[in-house]
Each structure stands twice: as structure tokens, then as C-alpha cells.
Structure 1
């Protein structure tokens, strides 16, 4: 997010056939717009501050703000068990956000990086097969088969202008996100964490790790331009604290499959924003690649909806 973007959380399950009301849908749409446009904001701020330091700032500051909000939101202030939250912070915040920012700094386009990072559900599907013993179904194989050529077309390795480092870092970001989600799913039933509490503390742990890396790499420095302060405010208040509150609200009032559609807005808005604001116009080949990847993510989302609905029907018998 982009804010430590949410993985598959089982915090409070809403039935798949529950009525869908307007206000949570509007919150989800606003969230998709804010997190999607943030790819442009993050790309633009790198002329004023290094990727390492901005990654640290955009995780530590909103984490502290969320922790301060916890009592006001009626949530438990005490952090979740370190064994559970620390690896999530390592992978889903430090890995996801750090590699993402470095990919943008290494020359990755905002829109293309967003799409590559959001291949995360595909890596999650493969990892869950081995780590969680969740069998890969034919529908999931279809999604992977659609996404792989799309990824090749988007990366276009035959182009001499290919930024291999940016591509590798973007893939590492998505894989880190998936690893955090695997850990979260594997131990969720043992700890039963509150989503907002877990989000705040794991983000702080990951952000402190990013701050340590930034200190080790270079002294803290930034160019105090309006662009820098706008990006910081956007990431701390809008995409950060407000974004997570909107996500928790949406997840608690909408079926998970609907929330999944909202997350799919992020790479699409990222591509559109990069085109309109930064002038990043992907060629026809890359456009086909983006379309295939987004189609694969849509297949995964629709499949998850069907599986959840089927599981609830069986449980009701």
C-alpha cells in the first residue's frame, strides 16, 4: 500500500451472500483510489529523498499513529505475540515496502511496478500448496497459466531498456508480501489477533527494521520541497492511517471476496495514474501483459468467492 498492503486476513468473516451496503463499498472504492494513486506519489518523491529513508518514514510514522488510535477505536493496545507479529513485519512490511521502494528507485515505472508487485496472490497460491498443504486446483492453475505469459510480456526481456534490477526488486516485494501472508494464515487460529492491532504493531516492527537499514546505508537527508511534504502527509495520513482504517471498516462490513475486488483496483489505478500523471504509456505488448495479469488476479478473486460460498453452504447443512 502503498502502506503495508493487506494479505488474506481471517479476522472477522462476513458470509459470502451477506447484503452489500453502500457505505462500505464507497469506503473500499476510496481506498482503492488512494492506494492506487500512491504509486505515482511514491515514484515522484524519490527526487527528494532516498528510497530507504522514505520506506522507513512511510511505515514507522503511520504505525505510531495507528498504535495511538487503538484505544480510541476500542482495540487492545497490548502488542500481539512477538513470535506471530515479528515475521509478518519482516516480510509483509520491511520486505514488501522496502523492495517496492527500491524497485521504483532502480528505474521501475510506477504502473508496471504496481502490477508486478500485485502478482502476489499467484505466489501465495504456490506457497500455500507447500507450506499450508492447500491443493492447487485447476482454476488456480489456469490463473497462473494466464499470468505467466502476461508477466513475460510486461517485463519484455527482449527490450534493451529493461531494468532487470527494478523487475527483480518488484518481484521480491510481491514474494515478501506472500511470505508474510503465509505466516499470518498459518498461525492465525493459534493467536486470533485483532486486525488493526496486528497491522499497527507489525508495521512498526517492519518500519524499525527499515529505519535501521536506512541508517546503515546512508545518513538521513531529504530535500524539504512541497513535493516531499505532500508525499509524506499522503503516506502517513491518507494511504497510511486512514487507508488502514478504511480497509478494516470494509473488511468488517463486506464479504471477503468483495474486499478482494477492492484490492484489485490498486494496480489498475496505479497504471492509469502513472499514464495520466507521469506520462508512462505502456506499449501494446506491455498493455496485453498487464491485461493478462489483471485477468489472472480476477480469476483468483472469483474462485475465492466461489470457494467461500461453497464452504458456508456445506457448514450450514
Structure 2
């Protein structure tokens, strides 16, 4: 994950010889998604038809589209914009916010119960990201 974050920063800041501008976060996300789609789709088709898996239902396809649009494209565009804006190192900490957003999504969309352990995990993760992102006023190392 760290190497892809550094690679994304490089692609979004350096201008290739045959381009007028570096890739935008949206273009980077679209190209990554298209390449992933082209690589993974034949394998999904193979598993569906040759290994006896059922074809996805209409409800499953709607879930896949929701996952693609909101959980993938929107999240990765924002993450790539973060890399471009605050740098690869600082933006890497935001990956830790995936579980809290999963907890919130499950609570809001699936009516999952929030127990004490989930609330504690949520607070620890968000607090850790906030601590890692704060500016060090004294200039000393935190450890």
C-alpha cells in the first residue's frame, strides 16, 4: 500500500513528456479501475460459468454498482486528492479510517448494533489518526 501511495504521488505531480499536465485523482482512479476490471473480469467469468457458481442476481448487481461507485471510485478519488494535497506520507494514515467508516456504514445502512468494543475501536482509530496528523509544535519526535 505504501509503494502504491508513493507511486500515485509521483504520477500526480510529474508531467510525462507526451502530456500537458499530470494525471488528476479522477483520471488516476478511472484508469486504475479500468485496468483492474479488465484483469479480473475474465477470472470472475471463469469462476461463474466453469466452477458452478450462480450468476449474480439483480440485487447483487445493484450492490456491485453501489460498491464500485461509492466505495471504490469516490473513496479513491478523495484519497488520491489527499495524496496530491498533503503528500503521500500524511495521507497514508487515512487508510486507518476505513474500519470506522465500515462501522458507521453497517450501523446506518444495515442496522447493526454498536457495542462497547466497536465504539472503543472507533475512538482509538480516529484518535490515532488525529494524533498522527497534528502538527508537532516543538519540532521534537513524538516517541
TM-score after normalising by structure 1: 0.35
1:97 maps to which residue? Answer: 76
Q: Alignment partner of 2:111: what SS?
A: coil
Q: Is the 8 A contact 2:107 2:113 kept in 1?
A: yes
- 1:64 is displaced (CA, Å) by 1.6
Which of the pair has the greater relative contact order for Cα pairs under 8 Å at 6+ separation?
A: 1
2:104 alignment counterpart: 126
| Partners of 1:112 and 1:76 in 2: CA distance | 44
Q: 1:145 to 1:134 in 2, by over 3 A?
A: same
Cα distance in 2, alignment partners of residues 145 and 55 from structure 1: 30
Which residue of structure 2 lines up, in the alignment, with residue 84 of structure 1? 63
Deviation at residue 62 of structure 1 after TM alignment = 1.9
2:33 to 59, 63, 66: 59
* Structure 1 unmatched ranges of 5 or more: 1-34, 160-282, 289-317
Find the partner of 1:50 among 18, 23, 27: 23
2:122 equivalent in structure 1: 144
Please report the RMSD computed on the Cα atoms of aligned residues, expressed in angstroms: 2.7
Q: For residue 127 of structure 1, report the CA deviation from its aligned partner.
A: 2.9
1:1-317 → structure 2 map (5 Å cutoff): 35-46=1-12, 47-48=14-15, 49-51=22-24, 52-71=26-45, 73-76=46-49, 81=58, 82-106=61-85, 108-156=86-134, 284-285=141-142
CA gap 1:139/1:110 in 2 versus in 1, 3 angstroms: same
What TM-score, normalized to structure 2? 0.71
Q: Deviations over 1:211-235 (max 9, x none)?
A: xxxxxxxxxxxxxxxxxxxxxxxxx
1:45–1:153 distance in 2 versus 1, CA, 3 Å? same
What are the Cα deviations for residues 86-107 of structure 1, in whole angstroms up to 9, with x where unaligned? Answer: 111111221122111111122x
Q: Distance in 2 between matches of 1:75 and 1:111?
A: 40
Distance 2:47 2:130 in 1: 47
The alpha carbon displacement at 1:54 in A equals 1.7
Unaligned runs of 5+ in 2: 16-21
